[in-house]
Each structure stands twice: as C-alpha cells, then as structure tokens.
C-alpha cells in the first residue's frame, strides 16, 4: 500500500524540504508524486536540461523512506517553447487560439509538440529509468481535462482526414455511413471533409460529430502511446506506467487509454460533489468504474485533502471526512493513496486549492487525521495485499453511447451517466457490490446480473455476447433506445429494439418523451409481490408490444395506458428484462429487489442503516476484509451476526454494534466464525 502526497520541491525553498520529509515520515508516508508541472525547471531553455534539483529532492525524501512517482511535465509546456512555436496552441471550435496562461493548451496532434515531448520524456526516462527511488511514472496530467480533448486546428483537420481514410477507405463509404446527401453535404474530395466546428445552429451530422469524438480520443491515446513507448524503452517493469484519470470524465475513451497503461490511476475529490447525501454513491461509481477499466486495483494519485478552490470554494472537509473518504477509496480497490497536495501553495492559480497543511505549513487537524490513517493503513496493508473487490453484478458503461447521447440527448436534460448512476445507486444503497465494465469485456460469464443501460449502438460481438450470456443462464436488464442505431450513429432500419427484439421478447413501434408537465404513472403487475404498487415514469416512454415477454410494470395513463413499461422474457436458461422508461426511485428499488433476489445477489452485510456503506476486499482462500463506512452525520447501530474482529481497534464485534459519524470498521471474520 502506497501512502503519501503530491509534493512540488520547486514551490518551496530548499531549506524547507527536509522538514516536510520528516513530517511525512511521521505521518506514515512512503511515496510522493513530483514533477508533472516542472518542465521549466527541468529544461529552462531549449536543449538545456537541469535535473540536479530533482535528484536532490528524490534523494532527500528517500532518506526518510519516501520514494517518488514522477510525472512527465507535458501538461504545462514552457513559454519559451510556445512562443517559438505558436502553432502548438489548440484552437477551439470557433477557431480561437487557446493561448498561454493556464495549462493543457497544446494540440496533441501537433508534430512539433510531439518532438519536444519526445525530447523531455527521453531525458527524464534516461535519467530516472533505473533510479531505485523512482517507483512509477504518471504520463502528463489529467489528459483531456478542462475541455482540451478536442482541438480544431489545421493539424487536427489533416489528422482527422487521415483517420477517416483509414476507417472508411473510400469517400463513397464515408458519404454513405454519414448520410451526407442530406442538405447537399456530399463530399466529392477528401480535402472537403471538415471538422464539426462553429456553424449555423442545429448542429452537425451526428455521424461526423461522433467520429470526431472518436478521432479526438484516439489522438490523445496516440499522444499517450508516444510517451509510453519512450518510458518502456528506458524503464523496467518495476516502474509501472500510469496516468491520472478523472472518474466520470468522458471526453476520452478510458478503456482505450488504460489498455496501454500498466495500471489505472484516479483523481478523486468527493466533497466537490454537490449534494452531500449523494456523495457516497457518486464517488463510489467513480472508484468502481476505474477498477473496471482494467479489471484490477488502481492508484489514487490525487486524493482530496482539503478545500478545493480555483476561484470559488467547494465545501471544506469536516473533521473525520478525509479519513472516511480515504477508506472508501481503499475499500473499493485503491492500492495507493496520494493526497493532493501536501501543503497549500501561497501563490498562483491554486493558492486556494488546499492541501493537508494550510498555508503556514504547520501540522493542523488535517495532518493529524492523515497521520492516523497512515498508522492504520500500515497495520492493514499486509492483510490487504493481493485483495480486490469481486462482484456478481455489473453495469455496462460505453463511452461511444455516452457520446452519442451527449450529441443527441433525446429528452431535454437527459444525461447518460446520471441514468447509469440511478441504477448504480440501487446497488450502492443495498451494499450489493457491482462492477462497471466495458461492453467489449471478454465475457460476462462471471456475473449473475448484467445491467446494460442505453445500449443504443452496439458492435456485433457485444450483441452476441449478451445473447450468449443470457442463453447460458444470466439475467440481463436493458432499457430504452437499445438497438436503435448502427455503430456509426445512424438509425438502424429495423423495428426496435433491433438485434435485441428476440432476446427481450418485445417489439417497440412507437415512443416519445415524457414532459415534466404531463406526468405518467406506473403500476406493478403481479411480479415480485408488488401488485398494484404505484410509481412515476419520466423522460421517455416506449410503447411495448410483448412478443413472448410478460409484463412486470405498466403505464397507467396517456394513450399507452395499460401497455408494459417493464417486461421480462425467458430466453435460453436466463432472463432478459426491458425497461421502457426512467423509473422513479421507489419503483426502481422494488423492481431491482425482485431481480436481485431472483439472480441470487447478496449484500456484503445485511440490514445496514441508510448511509452506511459496506465493501469487501477479498483474496485467495477465505482471506477478506470488510470495510463498513458511516457516511451519516450521526451515530448508527446495526447488528453483525457473524463474529468479527475490527482490525482498526482489535475489538471483537458480534451482535448489535454502534458506529459514530464518519466511523470506520475494517472487519475480519474471527477464527470462530470461519470455522463454522
């Protein structure tokens, strides 16, 4: 278990470094992240490299048992470089140059910038590739962040045309796939192909826009691959290569990006989530999505440690909150906790982005809290080694469908990831572990329940995998817009839900949006003992005709009153559910209580109070640690039937126990209960 903070020696006088290293050691730190914005210090003028200050810092921290993860500095190119080559700057969709002043203003397709990237990364890799105190590499910083995933410059236009030629081979094929005959947009030469830049309102061709998003994601992936290639050439496997991803950020296909990395890393700021009672599940889904990218544990390279603020403040973490969120990260599969940042900077854009230490640099309540976590994690670490979260349920998240829904949200205000989070919340509230996985996952066989929201576009392999999964006994839940489009974002000329009609045992010929001013009611049919239970539909309705499926929930008004809103179909040895609307919370809970019970899913611990999260990390044999986290602002009580030992206190727990606000249990089953 790595435990530490982001530390920037270039921000502080050298005389201070040792004080910081000593305080970190006393807090149980064993790692710092450095250098990801220090290009100007490492290459103050073109071709003149200076690493002595970094050598010195790495050595000093090493003397205190703290090793270093190095960031490549390409998110912040120096002014001398950009002044010399202003064509490196991104252009926004109105053609404006995105000039110097913050960060990330480079175009990842710019050949000149790739040359400079190659030079600085090679110098770093050669110097630190065999350094015993460098234990990993972070590429760049938050790739694509602050709206920099897509650039509309000439380099990108040229690269986009090349990308399209590789994809479609002929212009005729591109014209056909996008349907450019509409509005006389047919291309008669490759040079005519344009970027989806500023134009008259209504938006561009959906096929063009989706392909541009795919191209933009591929461009960043290619830029990352350039750096990975250099690092692999000079660095041993003992220095894993990662980059810090951002949870629900969706401008890049994180499955693609992480496929090229040794491991995934996450930046997480739970208290920036606006609604306090939603923070636990909204942060939880980000952790689970990161674990799902490679199906393995991950690092947190920026963990909230204070009040985030660029210009306006997010809430300040109250006493006990940093510890609580840290344990949520560890529970859900983080094997490194690196707080952002060590000490709050006294100047520049992040002077209010608070770290563990306030501006004055003396130990305060956050330091004491983090030190407590350090002591605890040092004890837990051996028990957590080679453990991870294993789930019997999974939610399929697809970036391409998410992009398609961003391009055309269908209903005003509809957001793909919020809809996913609605399903996720059920599992989080019930403490049933759920993975978040790619539609391209090797197979769904290990799961008893698969939720596939909004699978509007799907590759043939995914269609086949879902059918195979259900045929072999799995339970799938799909919902509205499934099968509506081809992979290139044009409509599939088939009755809905297209390739899933047989699986789901339904046909949908008619559909529409549900406006908030004209509410539509729901009522359960006989299923799951909920007969007559009433609820509300929102956002969308499908007028479903069952072709073999049975009705689970019906609409109760409008012209489709009495028609199914939720159906269930037996298929092979399994079951396929279809939800033709957005369900209110209580209907969704009642439905999924039934589906989960039918699929044999069980909570980590039964009957926990609301706001108490339980997650199991398990290893080989019967080794496991169950984390119980009280997100409430008050003490709660609950019963633990099996005898357990709380590894944090050494206390044996059986029967009713209480847990204070922000309280944590790290439970290991006692020998007595294991032998039963």
Residues that bind Zn ion (CB under 5 A): 107, 109, 151, 153, 155-156
Contact 286, 251 (CB under 8 A): no
Q: How far is the CB of 71 from Zn ion (least distance, A)?
A: 23
d(CA 81, CA 40): 10
Of residues 459, 437, 406, 483, the one with CA closest to residue 213: 406
d(CA 543, CA 353): 50
45 token code pair: 């003028």
The catalytically annotated residue of 36, 302, 402, 582 is 302
507 token code pair: 């046909």
140 token code pair: 């760049």
Buried/exposed code over 616-631 (b: 16+ C-beta within 10 A; e: otherwise): bbeeeeebbbbbbbbb
Q: How far is the CB of 159 from Zn ion (least distance, A)?
A: 8
With tokens 């693609």, the residue in question is 256
Q: How far is the CB of 157 from Zn ion (least distance, A)?
A: 8
Of residues 375, 381, 299, 378, the one with CA closest to residue 340: 299
The catalytically annotated residue of 36, 142, 376, 582 is 142
Contact 139, 252 (CB under 8 A): no
With tokens 């809809």, the residue in question is 419
Residues 6 or more apart in contact with residue 596 via CB below 8 angstroms = 393, 430, 432, 449
Q: How far is the CB of 156 from Zn ion (least distance, A)?
A: 3
d(CA 333, CA 104): 29
DSSP reduced 3-state for 220: helix
- Other beta carbons less than 10 A from residue 171's beta carbon: 18
Q: How far is the CB of 38 from Zn ion (least distance, A)?
A: 25
Q: How far is the CB of 91 from Zn ion (least distance, A)?
A: 6
d(CA 144, CA 408): 22
302 is catalytic: yes
The secondary structure of residue 640, as a DSSP letter, is E
Task: Report the chain's C-alpha Rg in angstroms.
Answer: 26
| 651 among annotated binding-site residues | no
664 token code pair: 């944590």
| 563 among annotated binding-site residues | no
Query: Roughly how many angstroms between the first and final C-alpha of the chain, as a whole number?
Result: 31
Within 13 A of 95's CA, how many CA atoms are on the CB side? 4
Contact 551, 589 (CB under 8 A): no
Name which of 109 and 569 has its Cβ closer to Zn ion. 109
d(CA 529, CA 557): 22
d(CA 351, CA 40): 20
| 644 among annotated binding-site residues | no
Largest CA distance in the chain: 77
668 is catalytic: no
| 6 among annotated binding-site residues | no
d(CA 267, CA 102): 19
d(CA 362, CA 507): 66
**Helical (H) or strand (E) element with 586:** helix 585-599
Catalytic residues: 142, 302
Q: Name the binding residues for Zn(2+).
A: 107, 151, 153, 156
Q: Name the binding residues for substrate.
A: 103, 141
Q: Name the binding residues.
A: 103, 107, 141, 151, 153, 156
């Amino acid at each position: 278990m790595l435990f530490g903070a982001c530390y920037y020696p270039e921000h502080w006088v050298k005389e201070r470094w040792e004080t910081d290293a000593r305080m970190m050691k006393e807090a149980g730190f064993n790692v710092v992240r450095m250098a990801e914005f220090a290009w100007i210090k490492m290459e103050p003028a073109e071709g003149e490299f200076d690493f002595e200050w970094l050598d010195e810092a790495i050595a000093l921290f090493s003397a205190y048992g703290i090793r270093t993860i190095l960031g490549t500095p390409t998110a912040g190119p120096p002014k001398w470089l950009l002044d010399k080559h202003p064509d490196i700057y991104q252009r926004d969709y109105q053609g404006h140059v995105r000039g110097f002043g913050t960060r990330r203003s480079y175009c990842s397709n710019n050949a000149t910038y790739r040359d400079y990237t190659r030079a600085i990364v090679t110098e770093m890799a050669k110097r630190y590739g065999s350094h015993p105190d460098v234990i990993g590499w972070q590429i760049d910083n938050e790739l694509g962040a602050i709206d920099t995933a897509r650039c509309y410059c000439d380099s990108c236009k040229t690269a986009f045309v090349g990308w399209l030629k590789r994809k479609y081979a002929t212009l005729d094929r591109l014209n056909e796939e996008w349907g450019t005959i509409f509005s006389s947009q047919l291309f008669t030469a490759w040079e005519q192909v344009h970027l989806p830049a500023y134009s008259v309102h209504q938006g561009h061709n959906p096929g063009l826009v989706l392909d541009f998003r795919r191209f933009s994601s591929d461009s960043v992936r290619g830029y990352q691959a350039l750096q990975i290639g250099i690092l692999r050439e000079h660095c041993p496997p003992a220095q894993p290569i990662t980059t810090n991803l951002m949870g629900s950020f969706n401008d890049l296909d994180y499955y693609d990006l992480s496929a090229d990395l040794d491991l995934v890393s996450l930046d997480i700021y739970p208290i920036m989530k606006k609604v306090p009672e939603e923070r636990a599940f909204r942060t939880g889904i980000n952790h689970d999505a990161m674990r799902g990218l490679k199906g393995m544990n991950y690092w947190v390279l920026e963990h909230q440690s204070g009040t985030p603020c660029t210009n306006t403040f997010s809430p300040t973490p109250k006493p006990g909150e940093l510890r609580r969120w840290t344990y949520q990260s560890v529970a859900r599969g983080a094997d490194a906790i690196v707080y952002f940042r060590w000490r709050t900077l006294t100047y520049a854009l992040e002077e209010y982005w608070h770290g563990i230490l306030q501006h004055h640099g003396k130990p305060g309540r956050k330091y004491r809290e983090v030190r407590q976590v350090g002591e605890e994690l040092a004890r837990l670490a051996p028990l957590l080694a080679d453990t991870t979260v294993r789930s019997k349920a999974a939610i399929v998240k697809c970036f391409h469908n998410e992009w398609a829904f961003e391009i055309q949200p269908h209903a005003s205000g509809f957001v793909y990831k919020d809809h996913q989070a609605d399903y996720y919340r059920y599992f989080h509230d019930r403490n049933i572990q759920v993975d978040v996985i790619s539609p391209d996952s090797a197979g769904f066989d290990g799961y008893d329940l698969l939720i596939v929201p909004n699978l509007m576009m799907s590759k043939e392999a995914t269609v086949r995998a879902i059918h195979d999964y259900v045929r072999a006994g799995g339970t799938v839940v799909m919902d509205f817009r499934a099968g509506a489009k081809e992979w290139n974002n044009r409509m599939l000329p088939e009755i809905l839900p297209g390739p899933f009609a047989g699986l789901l045992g339904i046909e949908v010929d008619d559909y529409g949006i549900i406006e908030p001013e004209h509410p539509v009611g729901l009522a359960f049919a006989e299923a799951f003992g909920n007969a007559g239970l009433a609820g509300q539909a929102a956002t969308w309705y499908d007028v479903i005709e069952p072709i073999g499926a049975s009705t689970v929930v019906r609409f109760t008004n409008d012209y489709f009153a009495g028609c199914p809103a939720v159906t269930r179909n037996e298929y092979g040895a399994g079951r396929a559910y279809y939800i033709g609307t957005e369900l209110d919370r209580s209907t969704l809970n009642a439905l999924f209580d039934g589906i989960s019970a039918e699929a044999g899913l069980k909570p980590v611990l039964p009957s926990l109070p609301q706001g108490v999260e339980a997650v199991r990390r398990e290893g080989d044999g019967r080794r496991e640690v169950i984390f119980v986290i009280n997100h409430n602002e008050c003490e709660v009580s609950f019963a633990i039937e099996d005898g357990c030992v709380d590894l944090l206190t050494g206390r044996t727990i059986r029967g009713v126990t209480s847990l204070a606000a922000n309280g944590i249990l790290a439970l290991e089953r006692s020998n007595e209960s294991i032998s039963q």
